[in-house]
Amino acid sequence: MRHVEIADLAGQRVDNFLMSELSGVPRSRVYGMLRKGEVRVNGGRIRPDYRLKAGDVVRIPPWHGPAPNERAVPAPALLDQLAGRIIYQDAAVIVLDKPAGLAVHGGSGIQHGVIESLRVLFPDERGLELAHRLDRDTSGCLVLARNRSALLELHAAFRDASVSKTYDVLVYGTWPRKLRSVHAHLDRFVTRSGERRVRAVPEGKSSRTEFSIVQSGERASWVRAHPHTGRTHQIRVHSLVSGHPVVGDEKYAPDALLAQSRESGIRRLCLHASSVAFAIKGQFRRYDAPIPADFTDAWRRLGGT
């Protein structure tokens, strides 16, 4: 059993702190430690989103997993792929064009995600952390911080909604021209099978997404989404409650629509984080990730031009 007193890590979420302290421990195991009360702060239980304060004492249980030299490392092909998808990097941040199908972190049967792989690519950077997250099947702009001060600044920007994000989205059906803003209260829940999902309910957290039409067709529409809040699965659920779920969305789209798109040869969630803009170290920056070939191919298969 270890006890760590917090000094320069004040403001960091306890789950992210534990992922750094317990390198190689599956994320699911870290959350299990928190849920069972194995991890304590100042002698008490805490939630995974608890933000550490200076002077907090964290009790960390022992981990009897594989030794570091026994852990599998990401495949060289994956490391090469990610190295080639870095849009921008400097001393503070890395902006990556994340491929669809790759989780941002390991856990729940996923051995290596983006963060584990980039820590192999940059082995001397102990401060490398995700500034935010993208769903596993979403492609596009993902921001990582390379040091503690950059992480705190980015986290504050995301909390204050001062980060501007744009997503390109293919949705089923013809998007109504008058539907430009979707407001819904979203709540996370777990299904009986253990799957994490989100639903729109009055008691949920307020959320808003602006939509604009890029191209419109009978089978599908290409829209651009600008989320003003950062709720889990926000664009996917806002599209669903609007009557136009995201093409290829295996969590939320009806089976009949999924079957039609699969028959057309579409094998991805058609949601792409095409740009992100934020201020850091006194400079405003914007970065863009090109539309993937399989996204535009899906649009053509749905009758688009």
CATH code of the domain occupying 72-159: 3.30.2350.10
State in Å, rounded, how far the first CA of the chain is from the last one.
Answer: 61
Please list the residue range(s) of the chain that carry CATH number 3.10.290.10.
2-60
Say if residues 207 and 188 touch (Cβ distance below 8 Å). no
CB 21 within 8 A of CB 60: yes
- Name the DSSP class of 198: E
Tokens representing 145?
């911080």
Q: Do the beta carbons of residue 89 and residue 10 sit within 8 Å?
A: no
Long-range CB contacts (< 8 A, 24+ apart) of 184-189? 184/237, 184/238, 184/241, 186/231, 186/232, 186/233, 186/234, 186/237, 188/232
Residue listed under structure tokens 């419109």 = 216
**Annotated catalytic sites, by residue?**
135
Residue 247 near residue 261, CB atoms below 8 Å: yes
Share of the chain above pLDDT 70, in %: 94
Residue with tokens 């191919």: 297
Query: How far is Cα 24 from Cα 236, in angstroms, rounded to an integer?
Result: 31
Q: In this structure, are residues 49 and 15 in contact, taking their beta carbons and an 8 Å threshold?
A: yes
- pLDDT at position 65, please? 56
What local confidence, expressed as pLDDT, does residue 69 receive? 44
- Tokens 């959350």 correspond to 31
For domain 2-60, the CATH class is: alpha beta
- State how far the Cα of 212 lies from the Cα of 178, in Å rounded to an integer: 9
Predicted local distance difference test score (pLDDT) of residue 62: 81
Q: Please identify which residue in the block is written with the tokens 């980039």.
A: 118
Query: Would you write out the chain's pLDDT as a tens digit for each of its 305 residues?
Result: 788 888 766 778 888 888 878 866 777 888 888 988 999 999 999 998 898 888 889 999 887 655 444 456 788 999 999 999 999 999 999 999 999 999 998 765 566 789 999 999 999 888 899 999 999 999 999 999 999 999 999 999 998 889 999 999 999 999 999 999 999 999 998 887 778 899 999 999 999 999 999 999 999 999 999 999 999 999 999 999 999 999 999 999 999 999 999 999 999 999 999 999 999 888 899 999 999 999 999 999 999 88
State how far the Cα of 200 lies from the Cα of 263, in Å rounded to an integer: 30
Q: Report the interhelical angle of 114-121 vs 76-83 (nearest 10°).
A: 90
At 70 the pLDDT is 46
Structural contact between residues 145 and 92, judged by C-beta atoms closer than 8 angstroms:
yes
Q: Which CATH number fits domain 164-301: 3.30.2290.10, 3.10.620.30, 3.30.2350.10, 3.60.150.10?
A: 3.30.2350.10
Residue 110: what pLDDT?
A: 64
Cβ atoms of residues 105 and 116 within 8 Å: yes
pLDDT of residue 150: 94
Pick from 238, 111, 255: nearest CA to 179 = 238
- The predicted structure's pLDDT at residue 299: 97
Locate CATH 3.30.2350.10 in the chain. 72-159, 164-301
CA-to-CA dists, residue 19 to 48, 103, 203, angstroms: 11, 15, 31
Q: Are 104 and 130 in contact (CB under 8 A)?
A: yes
